[in-house]
């Protein structure tokens, strides 16, 4: 469990973002239509005619506030006492510009600036930064006949445009004639997007299970797997249909449900 947590934290800290992701998103936009770019990013703040096309500018202004700071310096001498105090504060704005160079036929030639702020094309199989997901649904254990509410969560970061590393948690419950049962799983897994709306996941895990009647509690090494299909995708927010399963040396459980994700 400790090693899983360390790996997940490393994924969050050293994840694929910043300059590398900014470059890749810029490359994905090259050759796409100006109309598509403006639909995704909104209307530019300025559009200037150039020799071979147009230069479009998007501007983002940040407001900064510095709270007043005060200090005092007291000096006592035989014939006098000096007291010095100061306070400062202020409000200012900074503006970042992102430029798109568009050729005469209306195709994107080049992007410059903080492109990640505005995002990649809607159909691009590319994501960056942190990953977070939660889901709820119905689950069942291998030794129960009746499904009960279940769920899970994951957190981590992207290692590349289509591959992430996440820490996972899974919970499944069920019941039988002898009573209720529960299965829990903690693990670390690689999460891969073969296409824009679909990811698959697998990795090692530690499982904890209780048989019907909450008897025979036991820990077992195992593995977790999962798959998700995005029903709704809006920039970094996703509403998905998800299937999770955990298989160990002495127990197995799984769930199906809907989830919310940030990726």
Q: Are 46 and 203 in contact (CB under 8 A)?
A: no
Instruction: Please report the pLDDT score of residue 85 as a whole number.
Output: 60
| pLDDT computed for residue 238 by the predictor | 96
Range among 142-146, 171-175, 188-192 with highest mean pLDDT value: 188-192
pLDDT at 216: 87
Tell me the whole-structure pTM to 2 decimals. Answer: 0.81
pLDDT in tens, 111-148: 999 999 999 999 999 999 999 999 999 998 988 888 88
Averaged confidence pLDDT in the chain: 89
Q: Is the pLDDT assigned to residue 81 strictly greater than 80?
A: no
What pLDDT is stored for residue 185 in this prediction?
96
Q: Which of 49-53, 90-94, 107-111, 198-202 has the lowest mean pLDDT?
A: 90-94
Residue 213 has pLDDT above 60, yes or no: yes
Average pLDDT value for residue range 238-250: 95
Percent of the chain past pLDDT 70, that is, above it, reads 87
CATH code matching the domain that covers 2-15+128-262, chosen among 3.40.50.300, 2.40.160.20, 1.10.10.10, 1.20.58.760: 2.40.160.20
225 pLDDT exceeds 60? yes
Task: State residue 261's pLDDT score.
Answer: 96
Q: How confident is the model at residue 237 (pLDDT cuts 50, 70, 90)?
A: very high
The pLDDT value given to residue 180:
87
pLDDT over 80 at 152, yes or no: yes
What would the pLDDT profile of 6-54 be if each residue is shown by its tens digit? 555 554 555 899 999 999 999 999 999 999 999 999 999 999 998 889 9
Domain extent listing, the chain: 2-15+128-262, 18-59+94-117, 63-91
197's tokens: 């709306």
**Which comes out higher in pLDDT, residue 180 or 114?**
114
The pLDDT of 85-95, averaged and rounded, is 74
Distance from C-alpha of 225 to C-alpha of 68, rounded to nearest angstrom: 53
- Give the pLDDT band (50/70/90) at residue 263: confident
Give pLDDT, residue 178: 83
| pLDDT exceeds cutoff 60 at 68 | yes
- Determine the pLDDT at residue 63: 80
Place 55 in a pLDDT band, splitting at 50, 70 and 90.
very high
């Amino acid at each position: 469990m400790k090693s899983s947590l360390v790996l997940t934290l490393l994924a969050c800290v050293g994840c694929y973002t910043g300059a590398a992701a900014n470059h890749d998103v810029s490359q994905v936009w090259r050759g796409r239509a100006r109309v598509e770019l403006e639909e995704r990013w909104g209307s530019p703040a300025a559009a200037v005619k150039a020799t071979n096309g147009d230069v479009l500018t998007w501007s983002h202004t940040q407001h900064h506030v510095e709270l007043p700071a005060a200090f005092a310096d007291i000096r006592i001498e035989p014939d006098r006492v000096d007291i010095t105090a100061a306070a400062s504060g202020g409000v200012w704005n900074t503006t970042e510009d992102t430029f798109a160079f568009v050729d005469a036929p209306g195709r994107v030639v080049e992007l410059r600036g903080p492109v990640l702020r505005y995002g990649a094309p809607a159909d691009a199989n590319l994501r960056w930064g942190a990953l977070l997901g939660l889901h709820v649904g119905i689950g069942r254990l291998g030794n129960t006949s009746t499904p009960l509410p279940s769920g899970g969560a994951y957190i981590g970061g992207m290692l590349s445009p289509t591959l992430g590393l996440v820490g996972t948690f899974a919970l499944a419950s069920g019941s039988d004639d002898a009573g209720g049962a529960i299965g829990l799983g903690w693990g670390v897994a690689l999460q891969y997007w073969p296409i824009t709306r679909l990811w698959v996941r697998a990795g090692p895990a530690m499982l904890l299970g209780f048989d019907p009647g909450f008897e025979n509690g036991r820990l077992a090494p195992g593995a977790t797997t999962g798959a998700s299909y995005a029903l709704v995708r809006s920039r970094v927010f996703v509403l998905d249909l998800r299937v999770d399963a955990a298989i160990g040396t002495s127990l197995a459980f799984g769930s199906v449900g809907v989830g919310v994700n940030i990726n």
